[in-house]
Amino acid sequence: MDEKNLIEMKDLVLNYIIKEYIDEDEEKITYDTALISSGYVDSFSMVSLLVFLENKFKIKIPSSKATPEAFNTVNKIVDLVNQYIK
């Protein structure tokens, strides 16, 4: 995947997370902001984030791979998603 597409993908995930999980007035969220350990996205909400990723990218992520560590930042999420995009 080229750099431009990768950035677009990261922005797509980042914007979704900001829209759905984070208060609009919150401080700036970046690709490296901790999402799970910060409590922005809790373990129950991870399920809806997983559904979003699977719907949006037409992939299936095994539940064993959908760990708090793998979902902790936008960068890590995109790395995970890329493993399953054909």
Partner 1 sequence: MSNIGSYEDRLKNFAWSIAEDELDYKSGEIINIGWYCSDRICQKGKADKIALYYEGFEGNEKKFTFNDVRLASNTIGAFLKNLGLKNEDRVCLFMDRIPELYFAFLAVLKIGAVVQPLFSAFGDESLFVRLDNAQTRAIITQNKHLSKIRKIREKLPNLEFIIVVDQVRTKKTENREIGFSLEDTPPVEKFTIFPTKAESPSVLHYTSGTTGQPKGVKHVHYSLISQYLTTKWVLDLRDDDIYWCTADPGWVTGTSYGIIGPWSLGVTQCVLDSGFSAPAWYKFIEKYKVTMWYSAPTAIRSLMKAGDEVVKNYNLSSLRHLASVGEPLNSEAVIWSERIFGKQFHDTFWQTETGSIMITNYPGMKIKPGSMGKPFPGITGAIVDSKTFEPILETGKVGLIAFKPGWPAMMRTYWNNNEKYREKFVNGWYLSGDKATIDSDGYFWFIGRDDDVINTAGHLVSPFEVESALLEHPAVGESAVVAKPDEVNMEVVKAFITLKPGFTASSDLELEIMNFIRKKLSSLAMPQEIEYMDNLPKTRSGKIMRRVLHAREWGEEIGDISTLEND
Q: Which residues of the shown chain bind partner 1 in the complex (CB under 8 A)?
A: 20, 23-26, 34, 36-39, 41-45, 47-48, 51-52, 54-55, 67-69, 72
Residue whose CB is less far from partner 1, 3 or 24: 24
Residue whose CB is less far from partner 1, 2 or 55: 55
Distance CA 27, CA 60 (A): 32
Residue 28, CB half-sphere, CA atoms under 13 Å: how many? Answer: 3
Q: Which two tokens mark 27? A: 């401080």
Task: State the minimum distance, in angstroms, from the CB of residue 23 to partner 1.
Answer: 5
Distance CA 40, CA 14 (A): 12
Residue whose CB is less far from partner 1, 10 or 54: 54
